[in-house]
Amino acid sequence: MQLSKQRLITLHHCPRLSCKTLRKILEHDPNLDHLYVLSPSDIASFYSITHQQAETIHLYIRQNNIIKLLSIYNEQNIKLITILDQEYPPLLKEIYDPPLVLYVKGNQDLLKTRMIGVVGARMMSHYGREVLMKLIPPLLQDKFTIVSGLAKGVDIQAHSLAMDNGGNTIAVLGSGIFNIYPKEHEGIAHFISQNNLLLSEYPPYTAPTKWNFPKRNRIISGLSEGVLVVEAKERSGSLITADQAMEQGREVFAVPGSILSETSQGTNSLIKQGAKLVTEPNDILEELKGWISVR
């Protein structure tokens, strides 16, 4: 492993450092050479970070053996892709705040395929299930990989339908790979890791926290050419994903629903805001035809 990559991974494990701080450090010193020779006060000055952050980094990189952790990850077939690597997904690199390190387990080649995000309500209705059964198989036939967040409801149904129909899926986690959330999805997560792909920006031992999940949504949209929202309440994580998709220049698709249904308020609102109304698979496929060639 290249020294610069190893150093970035070490820094990525350092507690209480935001991606913004890590990115600032990388911009000042792409090879991270100065971290290993400067005192805490000089680190703070050189990288324009706080003295507390500099102390944390100085102690962590000298007291922790990243080689041992990397050996554990390797034994569990977890691979690491940094933003310095050629394998890093090019679409994801385009977004405003791309993850600096991706921890992946499974078929890494899926990151080279065309991807579409599928998100929606955790309290999915029978209507939502029927919509997914109608829309997902044609997307798979057109060689799209289904990207979702392993959550209850629409997410887990999207992953399952992809695999049941012989297609591919990527589960983007809001926790580390060793801490699958929700726990009742550990079985399907294991199956995805064997045949498809688990992906997280968090080191594998990271516990699930409520602020991780909205943040991971930018990865679902960032990997994808477009995001399909099947059911969503007026305030929901699915709408956060849709908003991020719009900011990233991705296509946003929404399935309309009854004006009397709480889980249709969000999707109907997206359509009012300009999301593509979807009633059949071709509404998505036609919009994405040639999408890569014009980028």
Cα within 13 Å of Cα(249), Cβ side: 9
The whole-number pLDDT of residue 82 equals 94
Domain at 20, CATH number: 1.10.150.20
Strand order in the sheet with 101-106: 78-82, 101-106, 197-200, 169-172, 144-148, 114-119, 226-229, 251-254, 276-277
What's the pLDDT tens digit per position in 56-99? Answer: 999 998 887 788 999 999 999 999 999 989 999 999 999 989 99
Task: Judge whether 88 lies within some domain.
Answer: no
Task: Judge whether 91 lies within some domain.
Answer: no
The whole-number pLDDT of residue 294 equals 45
Q: 246 and 174, same structural domain?
A: yes
Q: Domain count for the chain, please give it.
A: 2
- pLDDT of 292 above 70: no
The set of long-range contacts for 207-214, using a CB threshold of 8 Å and a minimum separation of 24, is 207/175, 207/176, 207/179, 208/174, 208/175, 208/179, 208/181, 209/174, 209/175, 212/174, 212/175, 213/149, 213/151, 213/174, 213/237, 214/240
pTM: 0.93
Q: 130 and 205, same structural domain?
A: yes
Length of the chain, in residues: 295
What's the pLDDT tens digit per position in 3-48? Answer: 778 889 998 999 888 888 888 898 888 888 888 888 989 999 988 8
Cα within 13 Å of Cα(33), Cβ side: 3
Task: Judge whether 98 lies within some domain.
Answer: no
How far, in Å, CA of 30 to CA of 45, rounded? 17
Mean pLDDT of 285-294: 75
- pLDDT of 50 above 80: yes
Closest CA to 68 of 10, 4, 3: 10
Q: Domain residues for 119?
A: 103-294
Q: 284 and 145, same structural domain?
A: yes
Task: Judge whether 15 lies within some domain.
Answer: yes
Neighbours of 5 (CB within 10 A): 17
Q: 197 and 64, same structural domain?
A: no
Q: 243 and 120, same structural domain?
A: yes
Q: 160 and 198, same structural domain?
A: yes
Q: 159 and 70, same structural domain?
A: no
Task: Judge whether 107 lies within some domain.
Answer: yes
| Residues 57 and 14: beta-carbon distance below 8 Å | yes
Q: 258 and 112, same structural domain?
A: yes
- Nearby residues of 26 by Cβ (< 8 Å), 6 or more positions away: 8, 32, 100
The whole-number pLDDT of residue 210 equals 86
Q: 144 and 230, same structural domain?
A: yes
| Residues 87 and 81: beta-carbon distance below 8 Å | yes
Q: 279 and 209, same structural domain?
A: yes
Task: Judge whether 240 lies within some domain.
Answer: yes
The whole-number pLDDT of residue 4 equals 79
% of the chain beyond a pLDDT of 90: 68
Q: Which residues of 213-246 are buried (b: 16+ CB within 10 A; e: fewer)?
A: bebbbbbbbbbbbbbbbbbbbeebbbbbbbbbbb
Mean pLDDT of 226-239: 89
Task: Judge whether 211 lies within some domain.
Answer: yes
Higher pLDDT, 237 or 13: 13
Domain at 213, CATH number: 3.40.50.450
Final residue of a structural domain among 25, 58, 75: 75
Residue type, position 247, single letter: E
The whole-number pLDDT of residue 65 equals 77
Task: Judge whether 86 lies within some domain.
Answer: no
Final residue of a structural domain among 75, 91, 114: 75
% of the chain beyond a pLDDT of 70: 98
∠ CA 144-290-114, nearest 5°, is 25
Q: 171 and 253, same structural domain?
A: yes
Q: 198 and 134, same structural domain?
A: yes
What's the pLDDT tens digit per position in 181-215? Answer: 999 999 999 999 998 999 999 999 999 988 888 89
